[in-house]
Amino acid sequence: MNPNRLLNLFCELVCIESPSRHEAPMAVRCADELRELGFDIHFDASAAQTGSDTGNLIAHLPGTAPGSIILSAHMDTVYPCAGIEPVVVEGIVRSAGDTILSADDKAGVAAILEGVRATLETSELRPDITVLLTTCEELHLLGSGALETEKLPAGAPCYVLDADGAPGTVITGAPRHWAMRASFAGRAAHAGVVPEEGISTIQMAAAAIAAMPLGRIDEATTANIGIIKGGNATNVVPDSCMVEGECRSLFVDRAEAQKAAMTEALEAAAARFGGTVQIEWTMSYDAILFDEDDPFVQRIAHAAQTAGLEARFQHSGGGSDANMLTTHGVRAITLGVGMEDYHSTSEHIAVADLEASARLVEALIAEEVKG
């Protein structure tokens, strides 16, 4: 691993503006890097579904030894991401302006590219290597949701470098996520003349929300109502109201129980006030839950040790491309890269963590050769 080359590459990548659905310049740069390393490059047709200006990047390099591995990160960022200027102060990379740094997830991308390059420079033996760089991860995993999974090697382990926590962190649990949209229908009436003739959908929504278990349900389960819209004027009983929310849990049965409780509250409130409600639930992604003694997890722990890192196992309340890839039948797991305060203008990452992530990529590739 070449520290200077890695840092230069990372700083170059963060300067490429690539918000969700506008990843094409980032994709071109990464494709050039991978092509130089001998990879065959493929862009899938996911853009038609995601609305991005590029598809997911799937690159493949044949191995010189048995085994196969997938290394993954995402190319898109949140806002504000225009004009990012990275600065390094006392071993920490930050943005010089009022922008994010985009270490989420360009730290993962840079670590993969440098880790692969270093492997090719120092080892004659390598497994088949597939690099998967996705679009629209920040938009509820749209890119990986539309991925052409048949382009991935069947049965290969997939390491998604896209979590906070020091390199060596292994996300052994991440939740099943349900998104909800409920549309209440009532009856409009003049609020000052004949309010009794109206059926208020905002009252229905308020009663439903008040009856729902929300927030931290238990150590593995959460729920939230995030959006409510309804009514047109203060002197009209509102005849329509829309509510959007979510629930998630590491455990499938608890996610389903929370979903049922929220549905019951919505339907009961509509019936109580004499209105109706239409409820749409969409499973955004499925849960991941590994035992720490799972051979897959222990292989990562051994690679971390080889890279001079301490393996740490933890659960997350958020999802990543690994959740969606698992839904597709890929054996995927998320790894920490050391980014901190991501999705904010305070985002930063230690140079030492960038280097450690690249070393971990090298170790994961070597571990696959050992079998």
Task: Report CA-CA distances (Å) from 262 to 212, 241, 255.
Answer: 6, 16, 11
Strands 312-315 and 169-174: parallel
Distance CA 231, CA 200 (A): 9
Distance CA 361, CA 307 (A): 9
Task: Report CA-CA distances (Å) from 93 to 16, 28, 206, 367.
Answer: 16, 24, 45, 30
Look up residue 164 and give its two tokens.
């906070």
Report the SS3 class of residue 273: helix
For residue 147, which of 128, 133, 159, 129 has the smallest C-alpha distance?
Answer: 133
Distance of CA 254 to the CA centre of its chain: 21
239 noted as active-site residue: no
- 156 with 150: CB under 8 angstroms? no
Report the SS3 class of residue 362: helix
105 noted as active-site residue: no
- 35 with 41: CB under 8 angstroms? yes
Which of the residues 23, 33, 44, 76 is marked catalytic? Answer: 76
Cis before 294? omega within 30: no
Which of the residues 33, 44, 137, 239 is marked catalytic? Answer: 137
Look up residue 346 and give its two tokens.
């305070």
* Catalytic sites, residue numbers: 76, 137
